A and B are shown apart, each in its own frame.
Chain A
Amino acid sequence: MTGTGPSRLLLPRYLPEDGAARTPVGFAGYKSTALRAPLHAPVELPQRLTEITGPVLGEGRVRPEDADLTRQHDGEPQGQRIIVHGRVLDSGGKPVPHTLVEVWQANAGGRYRHVVDNWPAPLDPNFTGLGRCLTDGEGRYEFTTIKPGAYPWGNHHNAWRPAHIHFSLFGTAFTQRLVTQMYFPDDPLFFQDPIFNAIPEAARHLAISRFDYERTEDNWALGFEWDIVLRGKDQTPFETSDDGDVA
């Protein structure tokens, strides 16, 4: 019969994040959140089958050249060539292998190739700003790109976004989904950026990449390293029984 199954299910359980280190959905200094961030606290949803599973994506979705944002046009884009690499791990330290990593970014002048970005910085005909890759068996990812520029936005007077690259990750479960931004070390614009400062202070360093001289290639590109940590599974499996008791 459709849909019936064992009443007792041995499910993995994804550990909660440290609430004090999580970015809040809304933040007063970031004006767009005022009418968009929900005002009611979310309802706790115990993890069940739909939450501990998730899409396994990648096959047929990623070509090797998608990881090099400097080779997507006839010519090379303007700007500082960089290599951004790191590992996707879970909070237990286990690598997340073969998972889809999607990135997008502004060009070296801080301009996005997007219809609503029209500030007076030039588009680069040789730069789209889209990259994709799958992590390898050890959870490693790597992109070659150019360093994105800072850009102004309308949030407050003289508001500038620090240089950043957008990242999107799936992990292996709906529970692990993460969309975030990677910053560069020592950016002088951090102090006035509400998107960066919405991250609780103790966790901000986790959003900043490390300059990586080891990965820097002589006569070619600067290296930056950034590890991404998704929620990990509790090592003890979580069992529910008919009466709802946790075994």
Chain B
Amino acid sequence: MSLPTTPSATVGPYLSIGLTWEDGPYVVAPDTSGAIWLRGTVFDGNGDAVPDAMVETWQADPDGRFDHVDDPRGAVARPGFRGFGRAYTVDGGTWAVCTLKPGRLPDGEGGLQAPHVDVSVFARGLLDRVVTRIYFADEAAANAEDVVLRSLPDDAARQTLLATPTEDGYRLDIHLQGPRETVFFAV
């Protein structure tokens, strides 16, 4: 039996009515040991900040584990850690998620993936989500071994996924278009 999948549609300009959670940006509570803020601005093809986008994040915990039945290593819950973050771009087009830095995890091909966060971006003007990954610029050795980063054509492409350290975490801007268009993925 195979059913056709339901087609996607844009989240539209009024997404905040339906998708606002007070605790959305908090993958962990801000007073959690090791908590960091991931921040960024979403830009359109004119280089203007996108003021009405939603950014969702999904990631492993600092030990590289997921609380999920399909993880063949077993589900591991970490109290207070949701793995999932949801944030909106607000004034100036910036989003922010409070989380823990993920650990490395197996790539299924005998190696280890570098710490990364899977990201979905939704906005008016996008008829489907666009998917990218956040990596961490201060993980050079791990990044050099990462099967996804290695598959990209050049450093300029890799650079669009590398978040840079800030005083309270990391920052990565997402460019929907333009000379620094972010590498987006088909999953």
Contacts and interface: CB of A to CB of B under 8 A. Distances in A.
A11 B70 contact: yes
A24 B127 CA distance: 6
A33 interface: yes
Interface in A194-247: 195, 198-200, 203-204, 206-207, 228-232, 240-244
A181 B9 CA distance: 6
Contacts of A204: 7
Interface stretch (A70-78, A113-121, A134-142): A113-121
Nearest to B53: A36
A181 B73 CA distance: 37
B98 interface: no
Interface string A123-137: 000001111000000
Q: How large is the interface on B (under 10, 10 to 19, 20 to 34, 35 or more residues)?
A: 35 or more
A130 B17 CA distance: 6
A177 B120 contact: yes
B63 to A, nearest CB: 5
Given A53-B66, A91-B3, A91-B4, A114 B125 contact: no
B127 A37 contact: yes
Given A6-B106, A89-B3, A45 B185 contact: yes
30 contacts: A2-B64, A3-B63, A3-B112, A5-B73, A10-B72, A11-B108, A36-B123, A36-B124, A37-B125, A37-B176, A38-B184, A49-B106, A50-B116, A52-B70, A54-B68, A56-B68, A91-B4, A93-B3, A114-B16, A168-B18, A173-B70, A177-B120, A178-B8, A204-B7, A206-B7, A229-B4, A230-B6, A240-B109, A243-B110, A244-B110
Interface of A: 2-12, 14, 17-18, 21-27, 30, 32-40, 42-45, 47-57, 61, 89-93, 102-104, 106, 112-114, 116-117, 128-131, 166, 168, 172-175, 177-181, 195, 198-200, 203-204, 206-207, 228-232, 240-244
